[in-house]
C-alpha cells in the first residue's frame, strides 16, 4: 500500500500548498477543496488525512504503517467521512458528528471530511459553524465540493479554499483508469441511484448515440427540448456523457460505469483525441451551468461543438 498522495494524478500546485502547510506545521482548522467533479478532490482529501494521521514521518505519510493503511481503507478511528444520504447531508448526521467529537477518549489528531459539502442542508451547516470556527484540539475539517458557491457563506468564510483545476486530457486519461479502479468513489454521479436519477441516466444514455449520429441535428432537437429547460438535468446529462467517454478509455470493461452496447459502439467510432476533447467540452459546459449560464444556449453551443469535434475526427 503506497502513500495515497503519490497515486493522485496532477494537481501539483495543490500538493505543494498542502505540503507547505504541513512543513510549517500550520494546518488551518478547515479547508475547502473546490473544483470540478471527478478530478480526484476526495482522493486528495483522503491522502491529506494520511499525512495528518501518520505518526512515522513529518513529511507526507509513510504509506505502510497501521495509521496509513487504515486511512486508505477508511477504517481509521480518527478519520470521519460524511457523505450525503439521498442527496443531502442532514442535521442528524452533523448531530452524530458533534456527539463523536465531544467524546473524551480521542487522542492525537482527527480529520473530518465532508464529501459533496454543497449538499449540507442549512440546518446541518449551521449546527457545525461553531465547531468549525473553534475545533477541539487537533481536529481538522475538509469540505470537498464541486460547487464552492453553493456552500453557505458562513462556512466559506471560516475555511481556507484550495482550488482544484480541471485535468489535462493526458492526466484525465490516466486518472480515468485510477478513478475506475477506485470503485468510483470520486465521481458523485456514480452514487446517484434514486429513482429519478436512474431515469435521467437512461435518458442521457439513450441521447448520446443520437447526438453522435450523423443526422443528429434535425432528429435530436425534439429529444433535447425538455432537458434544455432544466439546468440541473442538463448538468446531469453532461456528467453522464463524461462518464461514458471516460469509460471508453478503460481497458477492463468490468470497471466501466455504463455497460450498454449501443453507447459503446457509438463512442468507440470516434478517434481518442475527439473523445478527450468532448470530455473537456462537457466538463466546461457543466461548469458554465454552475456559473448560471443559460441552459438553452449552453445546449445549443454544445451541439455545435460536438459537430465540429466529429468533423475534426473524420478528417484524420
Q: CB 242: neighbour CB atoms within 10 A?
A: 25
Which listed range, 10-18, 21-29, 49-57, 100-108, lies at the site for Zn ion (CB under 5 A)? 49-57
For Zn ion, the binding residue among 54, 80, 207, 290 (CB under 5 A) is: 54
Q: CB 198: neighbour CB atoms within 10 A?
A: 10
Residue 118: partners with Cβ closer than 8 Å, 6 or more residues away: 145, 146, 147, 148, 150, 151
Are the CB atoms for 245 and 282 separated by under 8 Å? yes
C-alpha cell, 8: 493522485
Residue 170: partners with Cβ closer than 8 Å, 6 or more residues away: none
Nearer to Zn ion, 62 or 250 (CB): 62
47 binds Zn ion (CB under 5 A): no
Closest-CA residue to 263 (of 283, 231, 241): 241
For Zn ion, the binding residue among 19, 21, 62, 203 (CB under 5 A) is: 62
39 binds Zn ion (CB under 5 A): no
Q: Contacts with Zn ion: how many residues (CB under 5 A)?
A: 6
Nearer to Zn ion, 63 or 180 (CB): 63
* Residue 73 DSSP one-character state: T
182 binds Zn ion (CB under 5 A): no
b (16+ CB within 10 A) / e for 9-45: bbbeebbeebeebbeeeebebbbbbbbbbbbbbbbbb
Nearer to Zn ion, 56 or 269 (CB): 56
Nearer to Zn ion, 108 or 226 (CB): 108
Residue 72 CA to residue 161 CA, distance in Å, equals 24
For Zn ion, the binding residue among 6, 16, 56, 268 (CB under 5 A) is: 56
Shortest Cβ 64–Zn ion spacing (Å) = 6
What mask, x for binding Zn ion by CB under 5 A, covers residues 64 to 93? -x--x-------------------------
Nearer to Zn ion, 54 or 162 (CB): 54
3-state secondary structure of 197: helix
Which listed range, 15-23, 63-71, 261-269, 281-289, lies at the site for Zn ion (CB under 5 A)? 63-71
Which listed range, 62-70, 168-176, 226-234, 250-258, lies at the site for Zn ion (CB under 5 A)? 62-70
Nearer to Zn ion, 9 or 54 (CB): 54
- Which residues are at the interface with Zn ion (CB under 5 A)? 54, 56, 61-62, 65, 68
Amino acid at each position: 500500500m503506497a502513500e495515497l498522495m503519490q497515486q493522485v494524478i496532477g494537481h501539483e500546485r495543490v500538493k505543494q500548498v498542502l505540503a507547505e502547510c504541513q512543513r510549517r506545521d500550520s494546518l488551518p482548522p478547515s479547508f475547502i477543496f473546490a473544483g470540478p467533479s471527478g478530478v480526484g478532490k476526495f482522493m486528495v482529501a483522503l491522502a491529506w488525512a494520511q499525512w495528518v494521521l501518520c505518526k512515522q514521518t513529518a513529511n507526507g505519510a509513510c504509506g505502510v504503517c497501521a495509521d496509513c493503511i487504515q486511512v486508505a481503507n477508511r477504517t481509521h478511528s480518527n478519520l470521519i467521512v460524511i457523505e450525503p444520504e439521498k442527496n443531502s447531508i442532514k442535521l442528524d448526521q452533523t448531530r452524530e458528528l458533534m456527539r463523536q467529537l465531544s467524546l473524551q477518549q480521542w487522542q492525537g489528531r482527527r480529520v473530518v471530511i465532508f464529501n459533496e459539502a454543497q449538499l449540507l442542508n442549512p440546518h446541518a451547516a449551521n449546527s457545525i459553524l461553531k465547531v468549525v470556527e473553534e475545533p477541539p484540539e487537533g481536529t481538522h475539517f475538509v469540505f470537498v465540493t464541486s460547487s464552492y458557491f453553493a456552500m453557505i457563506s458562513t462556512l466559506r468564510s471560516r475555511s481556507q479554499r484550495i482550488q482544484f483545476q480541471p485535468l489535462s486530457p493526458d492526466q484525465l486519461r490516466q486518472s480515468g483508469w485510477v478513478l475506475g479502479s477506485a470503485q468510483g468513489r470520486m465521481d458523485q454521479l456514480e452514487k446517484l441511484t434514486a429513482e429519478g436519477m436512474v431515469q435521467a441516466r437512461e435518458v442521457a444514455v439513450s441521447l448520446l448515440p443520437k447526438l453522435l449520429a450523423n443526422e443528429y441535428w434535425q432528429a435530436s432537437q425534439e429529444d433535447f427540448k425538455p432537458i434544455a429547460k432544466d439546468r440541473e438535468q442538463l448538468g446531469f446529462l453532461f456528467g453522464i456523457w463524461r462518464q461514458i467517454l471516460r469509460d471508453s478509455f478503460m481497458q477492463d470493461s468490468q470497471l466501466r460505469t455504463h455497460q450498454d452496447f449501443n453507447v459503446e459502439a457509438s463512442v468507440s467510432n470516434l478517434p481518442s483525441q475527439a473523445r478527450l476533447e468532448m470530455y473537456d467540452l462537457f466538463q466546461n459546459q457543466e461548469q458554465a451551468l454552475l456559473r448560471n449560464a443559460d441552459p438553452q444556449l449552453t445546449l445549443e453551443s454544445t451541439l455545435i461543438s460536438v459537430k465540429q469535434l466529429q468533423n475534426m475526427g473524420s478528417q484524420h
